[in-house]
Amino acid sequence: MLMTPGHSIRHCRFTAIDFESAGATRGKTDSPVQVGLASWSPAAGHTRPFVSFLHTDQPILWSAHKVHGITPADLTEAPPLLALWPEIKSRLAGAIVVAHGKGTEKRFLRAFPGHGFGPWIDTLLLARAAWPELPAHSLGTLCQTHNLTPAVQALVAGRCWHDALFDAVASLVLLAHLIATHALLDRPLDTLLHPDTSRWHRRQR
Protein backbone atom coordinates (compact mmCIF):
# COMPACT_ATOMS: atom_id res chain seq x y z
CA MET A 1 0.00 0.00 0.00
CA LEU A 2 1.31 3.43 -0.94
CA MET A 3 1.94 5.55 2.15
CA THR A 4 0.79 9.17 1.96
CA PRO A 5 1.59 12.09 4.32
CA GLY A 6 -1.85 11.71 5.87
CA HIS A 7 -1.39 8.11 6.95
CA SER A 8 -1.05 7.45 10.66
CA ILE A 9 2.51 6.68 11.73
CA ARG A 10 1.13 3.61 13.51
CA HIS A 11 0.29 2.00 10.17
CA CYS A 12 3.52 2.76 8.31
CA ARG A 13 6.43 0.51 7.40
CA PHE A 14 9.87 2.12 7.66
CA THR A 15 12.94 0.75 5.91
CA ALA A 16 16.35 2.20 6.70
CA ILE A 17 19.27 2.14 4.32
CA ASP A 18 22.94 2.92 4.96
CA PHE A 19 25.98 2.88 2.72
CA GLU A 20 29.66 2.74 3.61
CA SER A 21 31.98 4.10 0.93
CA ALA A 22 35.47 3.83 -0.49
CA GLY A 23 36.09 7.54 0.05
CA ALA A 24 36.33 10.21 -2.61
CA THR A 25 39.59 11.35 -4.18
CA ARG A 26 39.94 14.70 -5.91
CA GLY A 27 38.24 14.72 -9.28
CA LYS A 28 36.47 11.40 -8.77
CA THR A 29 33.08 10.42 -7.42
CA ASP A 30 32.77 8.25 -4.34
CA SER A 31 31.81 4.58 -4.58
CA PRO A 32 29.80 2.42 -2.13
CA VAL A 33 31.49 -0.65 -0.66
CA GLN A 34 28.75 -1.89 1.68
CA VAL A 35 24.97 -1.52 1.94
CA GLY A 36 22.70 -2.37 4.84
CA LEU A 37 18.90 -2.35 5.02
CA ALA A 38 16.41 -3.17 7.74
CA SER A 39 12.71 -2.57 8.38
CA TRP A 40 10.63 -1.57 11.38
CA SER A 41 6.96 -0.96 11.94
CA PRO A 42 5.01 -0.35 15.15
CA ALA A 43 3.00 -3.50 14.43
CA ALA A 44 5.75 -5.95 13.39
CA GLY A 45 8.82 -4.53 15.13
CA HIS A 46 12.29 -4.96 13.61
CA THR A 47 12.42 -7.25 10.57
CA ARG A 48 14.23 -8.12 7.32
CA PRO A 49 17.89 -7.23 7.98
CA PHE A 50 20.10 -7.38 4.90
CA VAL A 51 23.76 -6.49 4.38
CA SER A 52 26.21 -6.95 1.54
CA PHE A 53 29.65 -5.79 0.57
CA LEU A 54 29.76 -4.15 -2.86
CA HIS A 55 32.25 -4.47 -5.68
CA THR A 56 34.09 -1.30 -6.65
CA ASP A 57 36.92 -0.52 -9.05
CA GLN A 58 38.08 2.30 -6.79
CA PRO A 59 40.64 1.79 -4.04
CA ILE A 60 39.45 2.14 -0.46
CA LEU A 61 41.10 5.25 0.90
CA TRP A 62 42.96 4.98 4.17
CA SER A 63 40.70 7.63 5.70
CA ALA A 64 37.60 5.59 4.82
CA HIS A 65 39.14 2.31 6.01
CA LYS A 66 39.97 3.98 9.32
CA VAL A 67 36.26 4.71 9.81
CA HIS A 68 34.61 1.44 8.76
CA GLY A 69 37.48 -1.07 8.66
CA ILE A 70 36.46 -2.53 5.28
CA THR A 71 39.38 -3.93 3.24
CA PRO A 72 39.77 -4.98 -0.42
CA ALA A 73 39.72 -8.60 0.77
CA ASP A 74 36.19 -8.06 2.11
CA LEU A 75 35.06 -7.12 -1.40
CA THR A 76 36.34 -10.28 -3.09
CA GLU A 77 33.44 -11.75 -5.07
CA ALA A 78 31.09 -9.02 -3.77
CA PRO A 79 28.30 -8.07 -6.21
CA PRO A 80 28.13 -4.63 -7.81
CA LEU A 81 25.37 -2.38 -6.52
CA LEU A 82 23.37 -2.73 -9.75
CA ALA A 83 23.17 -6.51 -9.27
CA LEU A 84 21.27 -5.93 -6.02
CA TRP A 85 18.42 -4.06 -7.71
CA PRO A 86 15.82 -6.85 -7.09
CA GLU A 87 16.79 -7.04 -3.41
CA ILE A 88 16.80 -3.29 -2.86
CA LYS A 89 13.57 -2.77 -4.78
CA SER A 90 11.75 -5.46 -2.80
CA ARG A 91 12.72 -3.79 0.46
CA LEU A 92 12.32 -0.08 -0.37
CA ALA A 93 9.26 -0.18 -2.64
CA GLY A 94 6.20 0.91 -0.69
CA ALA A 95 8.21 1.75 2.43
CA ILE A 96 9.01 5.03 4.14
CA VAL A 97 12.76 5.25 3.52
CA VAL A 98 14.90 6.22 6.51
CA ALA A 99 18.50 7.42 6.71
CA HIS A 100 20.56 9.49 9.13
CA GLY A 101 21.79 12.34 6.95
CA LYS A 102 20.07 11.09 3.81
CA GLY A 103 22.32 12.84 1.27
CA THR A 104 24.78 9.97 0.80
CA GLU A 105 22.08 7.33 0.54
CA LYS A 106 20.03 9.31 -1.99
CA ARG A 107 23.17 9.99 -4.04
CA PHE A 108 24.20 6.32 -4.26
CA LEU A 109 20.66 5.25 -5.14
CA ARG A 110 20.89 7.39 -8.27
CA ALA A 111 22.52 4.28 -9.73
CA PHE A 112 18.89 3.24 -10.28
CA PRO A 113 17.42 6.12 -12.36
CA GLY A 114 13.75 6.78 -11.75
CA HIS A 115 13.54 4.28 -8.89
CA GLY A 116 10.77 6.24 -7.17
CA PHE A 117 11.70 5.24 -3.62
CA GLY A 118 10.33 7.41 -0.84
CA PRO A 119 9.07 9.44 0.87
CA TRP A 120 12.24 9.93 2.89
CA ILE A 121 12.71 10.51 6.61
CA ASP A 122 16.00 11.96 7.80
CA THR A 123 16.59 11.02 11.44
CA LEU A 124 19.31 13.68 11.67
CA LEU A 125 16.76 16.42 11.00
CA LEU A 126 14.20 14.74 13.27
CA ALA A 127 16.70 14.60 16.12
CA ARG A 128 17.62 18.26 15.69
CA ALA A 129 13.92 19.14 15.87
CA ALA A 130 13.22 16.86 18.84
CA TRP A 131 16.31 17.63 20.91
CA PRO A 132 17.73 20.98 19.74
CA GLU A 133 19.55 21.46 23.04
CA LEU A 134 21.95 18.56 22.45
CA PRO A 135 25.49 19.63 21.46
CA ALA A 136 25.78 16.94 18.75
CA HIS A 137 23.37 14.89 16.66
CA SER A 138 25.51 12.17 15.11
CA LEU A 139 23.82 8.78 15.13
CA GLY A 140 26.28 7.30 17.60
CA THR A 141 26.05 10.26 19.97
CA LEU A 142 22.25 10.19 19.95
CA CYS A 143 22.12 6.47 20.66
CA GLN A 144 24.58 6.84 23.52
CA THR A 145 22.72 9.83 24.95
CA HIS A 146 19.40 7.99 24.96
CA ASN A 147 20.91 4.63 26.01
CA LEU A 148 19.83 2.97 22.76
CA THR A 149 23.11 1.32 21.80
CA PRO A 150 22.42 -1.92 23.75
CA ALA A 151 19.14 -2.34 21.85
CA VAL A 152 20.97 -1.95 18.53
CA GLN A 153 23.66 -4.42 19.59
CA ALA A 154 21.01 -6.96 20.54
CA LEU A 155 19.43 -6.71 17.09
CA VAL A 156 22.70 -7.01 15.13
CA ALA A 157 25.03 -9.02 17.36
CA GLY A 158 28.68 -9.02 16.40
CA ARG A 159 28.53 -5.75 14.46
CA CYS A 160 29.48 -2.22 15.45
CA TRP A 161 29.28 1.41 14.39
CA HIS A 162 30.05 2.21 10.73
CA ASP A 163 28.91 -1.23 9.65
CA ALA A 164 26.11 -0.51 7.17
CA LEU A 165 23.59 -2.86 8.80
CA PHE A 166 24.41 -1.66 12.33
CA ASP A 167 23.91 1.97 11.33
CA ALA A 168 20.69 1.23 9.43
CA VAL A 169 19.22 -0.58 12.43
CA ALA A 170 20.45 2.19 14.75
CA SER A 171 18.53 4.78 12.75
CA LEU A 172 15.36 2.69 13.14
CA VAL A 173 15.88 2.23 16.88
CA LEU A 174 16.36 5.98 17.19
CA LEU A 175 13.23 6.63 15.12
CA ALA A 176 11.14 4.26 17.26
CA HIS A 177 12.45 5.94 20.43
CA LEU A 178 11.64 9.40 19.11
CA ILE A 179 8.12 8.35 18.11
CA ALA A 180 7.50 6.78 21.52
CA THR A 181 8.93 9.60 23.65
CA HIS A 182 7.05 12.28 21.72
CA ALA A 183 3.77 10.30 21.55
CA LEU A 184 3.61 10.43 17.75
CA LEU A 185 2.14 7.02 16.90
CA ASP A 186 -1.28 8.37 16.00
CA ARG A 187 -0.01 11.52 14.31
CA PRO A 188 0.10 11.74 10.50
CA LEU A 189 3.24 10.65 8.69
CA ASP A 190 3.75 14.26 7.59
CA THR A 191 4.90 14.99 11.17
CA LEU A 192 8.07 13.03 10.45
CA LEU A 193 8.53 14.14 6.85
CA HIS A 194 8.82 17.85 7.63
CA PRO A 195 10.41 18.34 11.08
CA ASP A 196 10.66 21.89 12.40
CA THR A 197 14.37 22.50 13.00
CA SER A 198 14.00 26.24 13.65
CA ARG A 199 14.91 25.96 17.35
CA TRP A 200 18.08 24.07 16.47
CA HIS A 201 19.03 26.67 13.85
CA ARG A 202 18.52 29.48 16.34
CA ARG A 203 20.97 27.79 18.70
CA GLN A 204 23.60 27.67 15.94
CA ARG A 205 23.70 31.44 15.52
One pLDDT digit (tens) per residue for the chain, 205 residues: 556 667 899 999 999 999 999 987 776 778 999 999 999 999 999 999 999 999 998 899 888 999 898 999 999 999 999 999 999 999 999 999 999 999 999 999 999 998 999 999 999 999 999 999 999 999 999 999 999 999 999 999 999 999 999 999 999 999 999 999 999 999 999 999 999 999 999 988 7
pLDDT tens digit string along 10-52? 999 999 999 999 987 776 778 999 999 999 999 999 999 999 9
Domains of the chain are 9-194 (3.30.420.10)
Asked if 60 contacts 70 with a C-beta cutoff of 8 angstroms, the reply is: yes
pLDDT of residue 7: 84
Three-class SS of residue 163? Answer: coil
| Residue 121: closest CA among 102, 136, 140, 137 | 102
Distance (Å) of CA 99 to CA 25, 37, 94, 170: 24, 10, 16, 10
Cis peptide before 49 (omega within 30 of 0): no
pLDDT of residue 5: 63
Three-class SS of residue 71? Answer: coil
pLDDT of residue 30: 86
| 141-163 burial code (b ≥16 CB/10 A, e <16) | ebbeebebbebbbebbeebeebb
pLDDT of residue 3: 60
